[in-house]
Amino acid sequence: MCYSGMLEFSQCDQMNWYLQERFPCKMVLFVTSVLVLLGQEACESVSVQCLSQHPLHIFHKYYQSGDLLIAGIISLIFQISDTIGFEVYPSPSSSDSNLVYIQLYQNILALVFAVKEINEHPQLLPNSTLGIHMYNNYFSPRLTYHAALELLSTKGRFIPNYKCDNQNNFVAVLGGPNSDLCFYVADILGLFKVPQLLYGSAPMKTNKFEGAFLYSLFPSWTSQYMGIMKLLLYFQWIWIGVLHGNDDYGQQFVQEVLPIFSEHGICCDFIANFPQMTFSSSVSEMEEGTYKISTVVMGSTAKVVVVHGEIEIMVVFRMLLKADEFYEIARRTKARIWILTAQVDFTSLQFQRNWNLEFIHGALYFAVPSRDVSGFDHFLRERDPMSENEDGLIADFWKQVFGCSLPRTPELMTDEEICTGEEKLESLPGSVFEMRMTAHSYSIYIAVYVVAHALHDMYSSKLRHRALADGGRRKFLNQKPWQFHAFLKRVSFNNSAGDLVSIGQKGEIEAGLDIINWVTFPNESFLRVKVGRIRSKVPEDKMFTLHDDAIIWPQMFNQVQPVSLCNDRCHSGYSKKKKEGKPFCCYDCLPCPEGKISVLEDTNDCFQCPKDQYPNTNQNFCLEKYISFLSYEEPLGISLATFALIFSFMTALVLGIFIKNQDTPIVKANNRNISYTLLTSLLLSFLCALLFIGQPGKLSCFLRQTTFGIIYSVAVSCVLAKTVIVVLAFIATKPGSRMRNFMGKQLSISIILTCSFIQTTICTLWVITYPPFPDFDVHSMTEEKILRCNEGSVSMFYCVLGYMGFLAIVSFAVAFLGRKLPDSFNEAKFITFSMLVFCSVWLTFVPTYLSTNGKYMVAVEIFCILASSAGLLFCIFFPKCYIIVMRPELNMKHHIKR
């Protein structure tokens, strides 16, 4: 440390340089805060004395006298110093270079204009005037501490916590635009409960003490980050890059906000931080730092980059885009949409004023709502640098924007051009100085009015309780800072633009954010076009509004909405599959499995169509399944119906031949009545096949299987009766056989009726319990909705088939046993062969029937009916018809007996 009496003053001065470079600001704060809390009038203390000497002396101030002062510790001028050594005595003129953030000077003028308006207002603070005491903190924490301590001192003397007059009677402090520097002010002024109004970025309130005396004119950070997220999701920009400041505020954004983005499907290709500007930074060092991250940005596939930081980030950001090799590549092939947070307002340094502004064309910027303030542009036009003796900032500003020095500039160089005083702010291009009030300037303008209205409310409150004589007025002017908080927290008024201004419960102004689209022009001017709004205190669905048709995109996009994705979207008909080792926004596209579709882009999974629909070829929408059944209009139905009619005609022809020749021996043999019955049942069987063709209805489904089952049972029963009679007839011809007693019509009728009755009983139970009904089968075929007859009870259906199979097997067995009977009874051979055909057809029916679907299943059953019936017809009756028609000489009794 530096103690009095131990070191010479020059040694103390250089040691102070060393301590400031090697030790953190909190150590300096510790010493000064202890002295303040102890109430020391410490002007002779070497530690405080070192703070009061160069380089911690603040040259850039603005002072305007008044009954009540609004103090300010703001960032406008940045100092860049060479590396500190102890060989040469440090001098502010030899080693320091002042860089003015040109556009931020409007913040000072907004404050002066607001105070001027209030002092001229006849009803607002009528008996008091407002003054200004403004300090530039050089973006330095150490000088921020110094400025806070100087506010606690008598004007012109650095003695913290000691004021011998009312020349520094400040009621509130304006701070900004950097959030971290505001906390350094709060570390000291918070001890005295001084109200601090912050017009820049909303600070991180890590504890109650830091936030108790802070009032933010910047909307809550949650509103801004929710707005950014909604903007990204609105345009479906889910693959982004992030550039942030290298400070606690940037780290908070990365650690707390980006995870929320990720939860909503937004992921980052890169997260990089800008190089930090420090007291010892040089332009070359900053350019070198920006070049390193430029390669990261160039290599990214993200078309959208969120830029987060404080006001000075804009200077570094412009350096990032300055390099020709980066900018040309970006301009030609990799255009970017820059999304800037509200803190990153447009500003520049002197050496950047002629740089191209095309980089910001089409950028989207979140800004604190601002209004055109009547009279402000006239106030700017009338600004006369020659008459502003208390403005310690105007000389550097004027020099850097007009290239000339004011006559009263200290250490004026002989070769410098002297300003004439005729220079006007309106002559400057908009990229250098805007005549319209910016968002930060408007926040300062509102802040002054907030203080004035709160003071007026406090004045009115005192006036209601007691008359303010001269002594009472002095008492009002000497109010303690902590007494002012109650009025600040409930201040509410309408500003000149008609907007309601009020401070919320959390010490934040209740306002939303505007979404601004920056549009640049070839003459290096630009416009801020409002294209949307983020509202606060409204339902979430009404929070975000955007007029995307009003947005001007960067020229490289040709007014086509940009797309920022890790890869191309998965079209409909495809689903996403995550890429291993990549963020979740990166994925492959796989075709939907067969039978599934995806309608939307980038779907996570495909889904089945409704039961009565099926996927189209591209598997991106469902088609209505067409109704399918075996109809008379299609070739298959026509063919089967034609064969059924042909076989029916042939059966009828055979029956006619038998009836015409009923008295011939060959017809009378083997019981012609059974033959007639068999032929009739075969005729009905062929016609029964027609019930299976056509659109199924209630009646056709009810009759289809049962009619077929009963008729076929009669036919098979007749064949069985014929077979039994043939076998018994042969046995009865033997001498002494008793089988003659069983021969006759009664046996054949009994067999037919009994066998048919059993099948009829089964069918009756079927239709009573589980009758067949028309039904749609939507599962068997992909593109068809099969209209079919639901059997009702599958077991009953197979009982009917099983019983017919049983009769056929019995008939086949009996016929097989009598196949070697004498030629006179050779009908057994034909029956054996016919039943072999019959059984073969129906044995192949079951697997074929079960393996087909839709109308082909019905066609299989019709084919089996026709084939088995035709087998019986041809095998049993055609040999007899051949003899009757073609060989009538063989149709004689002696031939039959032989």
Interval 797-824 mean pLDDT? 79
Query: Which CATH homologous superfamily contains domain 635-897?
Result: Rhodopsin 7-helix transmembrane proteins (1.20.1070.10)
Looking at residue 751, what is its pLDDT? 86
Average pLDDT, the chain: 79
pLDDT in tens, 331-350: 544 578 999 998 888 887 77
Using CA atoms of 790, 791, 794, 796 in order, give the dihedral in degrees to the nearest 10: 170
Average pLDDT for 326-330: 49
Domains 61-73+101-219+438-502 and 221-341+346-371+511-557 share a fold: yes
DSSP string, 259-286: HHHHHTT-EEEEEEEPPPP-TT--HHHH
Class of the CATH-defined domain 61-73+101-219+438-502? alpha beta
Mean pLDDT of 237-257: 88
Tell me: the pLDDT tens digits for 670-693? Answer: 678 888 999 999 999 999 989 989
Q: Who has greater pLDDT, 607 or 219?
A: 607
Q: Are 213 and 189 in contact (CB under 8 A)?
A: yes
Task: Name the residue ranges covered by the structural domains of the chain.
Answer: 61-73+101-219+438-502, 221-341+346-371+511-557, 574-624, 635-897
pLDDT recorded at residue 325 = 45
| Strand 544-546 versus strand 526-534 pairing type | antiparallel
Whether 876 contacts 827, CB under 8 Å: yes
β-pairing, 68-74 vs 170-176, is parallel
Is the bond leading into 141 cis (omega within 30 degrees of zero)? Answer: no
Amino acid 173: pLDDT: 92
**pLDDT category of residue 16 using cuts at 50, 70 and 90:** very low
348 backbone φψ class: left, alpha, beta (φ>0; ψ -120 to 50): beta
* Chain-centroid distance, C-alpha 68: 53
Structure token digits, residue 620: 């991106």
Note the pLDDT tens digit of each residue in 834-855: 888 888 888 888 888 878 887 8
Q: Please, which pLDDT band fits residue 559 given cuts at 50, 70 and 90?
A: confident
Residues 790-806: tens digit of each pLDDT: 888 888 988 988 898 88
Kindly report which listed range (26-30, 126-130, 198-202, 209-213) carries the lowest average pLDDT score: 26-30
CA distance 809 to 831: 12
Nearest to 519 by CA among 748, 360, 691, 304: 360
- Residue 158, pLDDT score: 76
Give the integer Cα–Cα distance in Å for 300 and 268: 10
> What is the model's pLDDT at position 12?
38
**Band of pLDDT at residue 739, cut at 50, 70 and 90:** low
Helix and strand numbers (H, E) in the chain are: 29, 27
Looking at residue 5, its pLDDT comes to: 31
Identify which has the larger pLDDT, 510 or 178: 178
What's 497's DSSP letter? T
Report residue 116's pLDDT band, with 50, 70 and 90 as the boundaries: very high
- CA nearest to 709, candidates 582, 807, 815, 828: 807
For 351-415, give the DSSP string. Answer: GGTTS--GGGTT-EEEE----PPTTHHHHHHT--GGG-TTBSSHHHHHHHHHS-B-TT-TT--TT
Helix axes 794-817, 745-769, angle to 10 degrees: 160
Q: Does residue 824 carry a pLDDT above 80?
A: no
Which band of pLDDT confidence, cut at 50, 70 and 90, is reported for residue 186? confident
What's the pLDDT at 105? 92
In CATH terms, the superfamily for domain 221-341+346-371+511-557 is Response regulator (3.40.50.2300)
Residue 128: pLDDT over 80: yes
Judge residue 460's burial from the number of C-beta atoms within 10 Å of its C-beta, 0-12 exposed, 13-18 middle, 19 or more buried. Answer: exposed
